[in-house]
Amino acid sequence: MEWKKINSTNSANVRYGHTAVLFEKKLYVFGGKTRDNNYIYSADLEIFSMEEKIWSIPIVQTKNTLKLRSFHTAEIIGIQ
């Protein structure tokens, strides 16, 4: 296992205090504080596809009800 820099046409928001979960060749990044929001808490979700090497931002219907958070934990559940 090693880190490699990739060339991508887009990139995720710079942030800290977020969580990241890898599942089925996709990296899910949630929460934290982002530079774009003047370092305030963010409830956004960004997904990086390892196969396509692109970032996407899904439309989350419950975004207004998500609590803004930083320095939290996350896991994927309910997958069989």
Helix (H) or strand (E) run with residue 15 in it: strand 15-16
Domain borders along the chain are 15-61
The answer for residues whose C-beta is within 8 angstroms of residue 66's C-beta and 6 or more apart is 43, 60
In degrees to the nearest 10, what's the CA dihedral of 61, 65, 70, 74? -60
pTM of the model: 0.70
Provide the pLDDT for residue 39: 67
At residue 43, the pLDDT reads 66
Q: Write the pLDDT tens digit of every residue in 13-71.
A: 778 888 889 999 999 888 788 776 676 666 678 899 988 888 888 877 665 556 666 67
Query: Which pLDDT tens digit goes with each residue over 36-48?
Result: 667 666 667 889 9
Query: Which residue has 């990086």 as its token pair?
Result: 48
Cα(6)–Cα(1) distance, integer angstroms: 15
